[in-house]
């Protein structure tokens, strides 16, 4: 099975939290077309929404003059997602652990943790202003990668 991207879908959104539902609609359709099972689809959907929320809210600070950019590369064996914002980025190591008992009852700070828990690969580029995420269709493909 080839590893080359068959189809790349690009999207850019104005920095408005009211548009996060657009991401939900698009990624849901991509996942359905790719044949991901329900549980995996929910995980990927959540990770993409978290990455989009981070880009719009924390990266671009909901500045209407800035946009959030999304790329969904549909491979036979995996979905690769790139999310980019026009903000200053962040240092992953400086983000508090939401599972630390002192943080458990905080009302925010779980986005990155959930992205990393739901996807097979999550890496950060351009000082955190770019997030790359991959989800494999099966665990055997993940092991072979």
Partner 1 sequence: MNVDIRKREGVTVLDIEGRIIGSDSLALKHIIDEQINATEEGQVKILLNLEKVRMVDSSGLGVIVAAYTSVQRKGGRISLLHVGGNIKSLIVMAKLVTIFDRYEDENEAIASFQ
* Residue 30 and residue 137 in contact, taking contact as beta carbons nearer than 8 Å: no
Distance between CA atoms of residues 43 and 91, nearest Å: 24
Distance between CA atoms of residues 50 and 20, nearest Å: 9
For partner 1, the binding residue among 27, 46, 68, 81 (CB under 8 A) is: 46
Task: Tell me if 64 contacts partner 1 by CB under 8 A.
Answer: no
Contacts of 118 (CB under 8 A, 6+ apart): 43, 44, 46, 47, 135
* Residue 79 and residue 66 in contact, taking contact as beta carbons nearer than 8 Å: no
Nearest approach, Cβ of 43 to partner 1 (angstroms)? Answer: 8
Nearest approach, Cβ of 106 to partner 1 (angstroms)? Answer: 7
For residue 111, what are its two tokens? 């986005």
Task: Tell me if 19 contacts partner 1 by CB under 8 A.
Answer: yes
Task: Tell me if 108 contacts partner 1 by CB under 8 A.
Answer: yes
* Contact range with partner 1 by CB under 8 A, out of 69-77, 82-90, 100-108, 125-133: 100-108
Task: Tell me if 45 contacts partner 1 by CB under 8 A.
Answer: yes
Which residues here bind partner 1, judged by CB under 8 A?
A: 17-21, 24, 39, 42-43, 45-46, 49-50, 53, 98-99, 104-108, 110-111, 113-114, 117
């Amino acid at each position: 099975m080839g590893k080359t991207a068959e189809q790349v879908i690009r999207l850019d959104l104005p920095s408005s939290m009211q548009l996060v539902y657009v991401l939900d609609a698009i990624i849901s359709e991509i996942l359905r077309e790719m044949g991901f099972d329900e549980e995996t689809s929910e995980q990927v959907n959540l990770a993409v929404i978290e990455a989009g929320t981070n880009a719009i809210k924390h990266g671009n600070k909901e500045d209407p003059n800035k946009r959030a950019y999304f790329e969904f590369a549909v491979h036979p064996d995996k979905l690769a997602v790139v999310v980019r914002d026009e903000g200053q980025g962040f240092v992953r190591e400086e983000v508090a652990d939401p599972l630390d008992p002192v943080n458990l009852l905080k009302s925010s700070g779980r986005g990155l943790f959930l992205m990393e828990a739901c996807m097979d690969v999550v890496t950060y580029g351009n000082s955190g202003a770019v997030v790359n995420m991959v989800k494999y269709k099966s665990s055997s493909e993940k092991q072979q990668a």
